[in-house]
A and B are shown apart, each in its own frame.
Chain A
């Protein structure tokens, strides 16, 4: 049977050229528009979460100076900051934003396989965000249970937002999971089914690999969060005792019988740890492409990179209890989870070595996206190394409730992915908008963000070693903490406010670029991947005009010996390559 690329078959693709403003930009089924909608919404809630962290830092750096921060809303700030950043910003931005934009363009398809479902996914996501934000305005405010929502305190009186906040939070999470599942089915099916001719799995750019495996992780892990959210909702509203132990409340009996809070922790972290990699794997993939493109070198060890992504994804499901060492567990369990945790360092280290080796003797162009990509290598190594400390039970126990942990996870899954987000936005900005941004402003943005985050998080490790406890509203008179700890806290707060403020540079840059930025070249970075080879710039609805591209090579043909240009796009055949001499495969 003659092969017809799936995207070429009419019945598989709904052609629907949008006519009006509304169908084009609002009820749009175009993956590129949906990607931008996802990104704008995610960045919007991310800014709210950034504001919340600034409020927390104000209290920590200058205790009791600000009358508008009391213990209750401090805990609400913590909870909402964590939940928004991890789920509503990073997960949504990497998968809904970059996943949506990059998968069809990089795989050479016209759109996602199910465009209508894709549109629905965004609107359901928006609904979850609205429910989440509504919890700020209900009586009692949003929940202050911490982003992990541990029972029993999450639904017991005394925790802020126990009446409405926690209900809206759980509901919002459930709605988000529905949205993610709709999007995720699309991403998986599109990667498996709608690649253009010649795009074998092992020719896919690593960005697509990272997003693909992260989606698989999400699809399998989010149900754990859904199950725990539903069970907690039942505990809260119908007074079942899934998680709630027999407990006495001010001498009264709230009617719970012997449920298990630990059960919730298992379910939560069974989702929670893969979630770290749902955020990290797309970042890994994207950073690989940025490094390769801007170093004009093929990625070092492509197959190893793919297998490492898959191995990390698989291992991420058997390490969850390392978040629960302090809950108490059988020492053999602890030993098992410490071992698996340390094993994850192997594929991760492979990736780091390969990034560095990609840079080795490369023709490095220190443009803004490259700066962010290299910055990511630094912050990720630092965050990853402290992870090796915390993976060990004996080191985790004393450090678990200190700022050391805060510093660790912010470096590894806060700062690092966010640097990649910025790098990726700068990298694909010309393709998305057709405009260039201001390079100088971008550099300032990078250096201030990069150095600023070190100013925040390096000192935090020392606070952790001093035993300064996390989650506390105020430290009070604690003897083991030297006075200088407070000075350091003030410094961290100043740095945090500075970094938050410098993000204005980013917004100035993109707004300036949209209004009066110079038109960009269709392929400003001389990149090989398909999204830079579209017939229109920026790509129009349907992406490829009349004919789908045909792929002849992998995504990393940079500086191939014997060719005139230092890159050969994926859709250029060996006969058409600029020098005309066939050196394919000789490097």
Chain B
């Protein structure tokens, strides 16, 4: 559980630091003139961004706990390390590309170059779909060599981790699809679209990071 605890310590330390900053040396019982910036927190004022960051904390907690379980289960006698299909390297590269293209699209949106949005979004979608399909093919390859989910706990964790990660990507694709539809159909104003692309990009980078951590762990054990 060390992994989960370390992660939690990080989150709680952030929360605590922020709280102390807000509460230390205040005298709540004193009635006073309202300060103009009374409730502008350190995180800025974008509610959707706050909600997304909170969601990322929840998802991190989810993966940190699986990794904790992984570490605990690995120590038991019946663990046989799995040799991952080489395809995963290609998939990783595709996901990295998806993130790069998404970042490029985000920059275009932020700078008002709206012509670049739909090719950027479509390419991102294509690459991301490619990643998910690639993961599925990797599963097929494993099963073709007789490595089923029940063969070994290492396999079970491999299927569980990659599956859970893919589900999160597919969830992100839903938001991506809404943003893309808005761009292609010409609905919605530019700032709103830019904001939604911005949030999607953060989510994509986050899932790339999660994947790199997972992949690194799978390779090294």
> Which residues of A pack against B, CB within 8 Å?
2-3, 5-6, 12, 113-114, 181, 184-186, 188-189, 192-203, 216, 219-221, 223-224, 226-227, 230-231, 234, 238-242, 246, 255, 257-260, 263, 266-267, 270, 298, 302-303, 306-307, 310, 314, 317-318, 550-554, 556-557, 568, 573-574, 584-585, 587
Contacts and interface: CB of A to CB of B under 8 A. Distances in A.
Contact of B50 (A193, A216, A230, A556): A193
Instruction: Give 7 nearest A-B pairs by CB, closest first.
Output: A584-B31, A553-B31, A198-B34, A223-B62, A585-B30, A258-B78, A240-B156
Contacts of B153: 240-242, 257-259
Contacts of A557: 29, 31
A114 B52 CA distance: 12
B217 interface: no
Given A3-B36, A181-B58, A240 B149 contact: yes
Contacts of B72: 260, 263, 266
A306 B23 CA distance: 9
8 contacts: A12-B47, A113-B51, A114-B51, A189-B51, A193-B47, A198-B38, A230-B164, A260-B72
B12 A314 contact: yes
Contacts of B45: 6, 193
A11 to B, nearest CB: 8
Contacts of A202: 22-23, 26, 28
A231 B69 contact: yes
B54 to A, nearest CB: 5
Interface of B: 1, 4-5, 8, 11-12, 15-16, 19, 22-23, 26-41, 43, 45, 47, 50-51, 54-55, 57-59, 61-62, 65-66, 68-69, 72-73, 76-78, 149-150, 152-153, 156, 160, 164
A231 B11 CA distance: 25
Contact of A307 (B23, B33, B76): B23
Contacts of A239: 150
B70 to A, nearest CB: 10
Contacts of A12: 47
A181 B59 CA distance: 10
B39 A585 contact: no
A260 B31 contact: no
A416 B45 CA distance: 38
A550 B30 contact: no
B150 A241 contact: yes
A248 to B, nearest CB: 16
A314 B51 CA distance: 21
Contacts of B27: 585
A240 B5 contact: no
B39 A5 contact: yes
B73 A260 contact: yes
B50 A188 contact: yes
A42 B8 CA distance: 30
Q: Choose among A5, A12, A303 the residue with the greatest number of B CB atoms under 10 Å from its CB.
A: A303
A234 B66 CA distance: 14
B213 to A, nearest CB: 16
A258 B47 contact: no
Contacts of B66: 227
A447 B176 CA distance: 57
Nearest to B191: A11
A430 to B, nearest CB: 26
A189 B38 CA distance: 16
